[in-house]
Amino acid sequence: MPRVLIVGASLGGLRAAEALRDAGFHGAISSVGAEAHPPYNRPPLSKDVLLGNATSDGVLAELAFPRKARLGEIDWRLGMSVAAVDLAQGEARLADGSRIHFDALIVATGLRPRRLQLTGATADRFVLRTLPDALALRARLVPGARIAIIGGGFIGCEVAASARRRGCATTVIEPLIVPMQRALGQEFGAAMQALHEAAGIRFRTGRQVTGFEVDVSDRLHAVRLDDDSLVEADLAVEAVGSQPNTEWLAGNGFDLDDGILCDHRMAAIGHDRVAAVGDVARFPCLLFDDVPRRVEHWSIPGLTARRAAGHVARQLGVAVPDAPFAPLPTFWSDQLGLRIQCAGLPGLADRVGLLSGSLGPDSMRRDGAVMGYWRKDRQVGVAAIGVAPQRFINFQADLVRALQNCSL
Partner 1 sequence: MKICVDLEKCQSHGQCAIAAPELFSFDAEGKLRWVKEPPVEQQATAEAAADACPEQAITIGT
Q: Does 298 bind partner 1 (CB under 8 A)?
A: yes
Beta bridge partners of 242: 113
Task: Identify the residue among 66, 144, 317, 321 touching partner 1 (CB under 8 A).
Answer: 66
Q: Give the containing element (helix H, strand E) for 395.
A: helix 389-404
Is 15 among the residues that bind partner 1 (CB under 8 A)?
yes
Contact call for residue 388 and partner 1 (CB under 8 A) = yes
Query: Cβ closer to partner 1: 167 or 389?
Result: 389
Tallying the residues shown for the chain, one arrives at 408
Q: Which of 212, 288, 392, 395 binds partner 1 (CB under 8 A)?
A: 392
Position 224: which residue type?
Answer: R
* Minimum CB distance to partner 1 smaller for 68 or for 182: 68
Query: Which residue's CB is nearer to partner 1, number 117 or number 390?
Result: 390
Closer by beta carbon to partner 1, 288 or else 392: 392
Q: Is 332 in the site for partner 1 (CB under 8 A)?
A: yes
Q: How many residues line the site for partner 1 (CB under 8 A)?
A: 22
> Which of 81, 252, 299, 363 is the binder for partner 1 (CB under 8 A)?
299
Nearest alpha carbon to residue 406 among 343, 352, 326:
326
From 38, 43, 211, 347, residue interacting with partner 1 (rule: CB under 8 A): 43
In this chain, which stretch among 86-94, 147-155, 185-193, 326-334 interacts with partner 1, using CB under 8 A?
A: 326-334
Q: Is there binding between residue 374 and partner 1 (CB under 8 A)?
A: no
Identity of residue 92 = A
Of the candidates 116, 121, 189, 118, the residue with the CA atom closest to the CA atom of residue 152: 189
| Helices then strands, each counted (H, E), the chain | 10, 26
DSSP state of 53: -
- CB within 8 Å of 216: residues ≥ 6 apart: none
Least Å distance, CB 304 to partner 1, is: 13
- Contacts with 283 (C-beta within 8 Å, 6 or more apart), sequence order: 261, 262, 263, 264, 266, 276, 292, 293, 304
Residues 70-109 close enough to bind partner 1 by CB under 8 A? none
* Eight-state DSSP code of residue 280: G
Query: Shortest approach of partner 1 to residue 341 CB, angstroms?
Result: 8
- Alpha-carbon distance 36 to 50, whole Å? 20
Q: Please list the residues that pair with 341 across neighbouring strands.
A: 332, 384
Residues that bind partner 1 (CB under 8 A): 15, 22, 41, 43-44, 63, 65-66, 298-299, 302, 330, 332, 334, 339, 341, 388-390, 392-393, 396
